[in-house]
Structure 1
Amino acid sequence: MADRGDYQGSGLALVDDKGRVAIPNALRSTLAANSPRADGKDGGTIIIAVHEDKPCLVAYDPSYVPILKAELRTRVELTRGADGRVNDSIMREGANGEAVPFDGSGRFIMPGFPRFHANIGEHAFFWGTFDTIEIWDPKTLLATPNVGSTMASACKFYCQEKGIAL
């Protein structure tokens, strides 16, 4: 989809005991534009998946699925050995997303396994990466090497702004 909006922005959100969380405003409007409901009402669908190599989640709209699938297929083909075999784990890992609805306020229920996998407790830090949104537990983000100083600084800023001790 050539006219997909880019996910740029960040924010910190509370996660309740049932896993309900609201997508920060900076990212919500892009998600809603990329994932409009067929009935024209507010809200849409967000896909939540485990990141392939970082201890966080990755979120995206349904129109990104064909793009992701094509990228994964290219990576699979690049692994083809002389015997014709490929690394089919690439598709297995990349296809782990779960589609969940979000309402007009950007609230959705974070699926249990991805939330567990990423160690997301009471807070979720959202970071736009153009095609997708990363969702992190703030303490995990700050303890993870090579996440980028700007993203780490933004996470610290939002936590400090909301009085969250790290």
Structure 2
Amino acid sequence: MTSPRLVLRLACVRRSLLAPTFPHCQSRASTAFSSDAALCRQTAKVLYSLERFHRQNSSQNERRKVERQAWRELQKLPDAVADSASIHDVTDIVAAWCYFSRFWALGMHGPEETAEEKQKGGVLERNDIDVPLVERRAPKARSPTVDEAPPPRANPLDEVIEF
């Protein structure tokens, strides 16, 4: 006879093996952060992932949902977090804000409230799109090729000093 703990453990292992291997954007209520820097890093990852999803998606309905989801992510981020965040995270957040501001009705001030949101006092059931988290990769440095490298310059001292 098997114990309930063993059955539960086996069920959890099976579920984790069947689950997708990439993380998804989650609401911040379900994840706890130990520091402001971690919160900022997670927000930067989510916004970058939303931006990539928005660029690659052709469905206008899903794009509008992602735009509103990006605005909510920005609104969840406290102002004090930026003081302890790394410069890379701050630039990712600002870049995403600038990208999405092109699509928001009010520009840098976010999307316009829909009629449904106005009737319900700004609270609306959210059907967020489950976007896979994308890790930003830094471009790898490489040496310039012959056609990209500048031609060698003559040393200006050769003209002045004659040997």
Please identify the structure whose Cα radius of gyration is greater.
2
> Quick check: TM above 0.5?
no
Q: Where on the TM-score scale, by shorter chain, does this alignment land: which range?
A: under 0.3
TM value normalised by structure 1: 0.26
**Structure with the larger strand share:** 1
Q: TM-score w.r.t. structure 2 length?
A: 0.26
Bigger helix fraction: 2
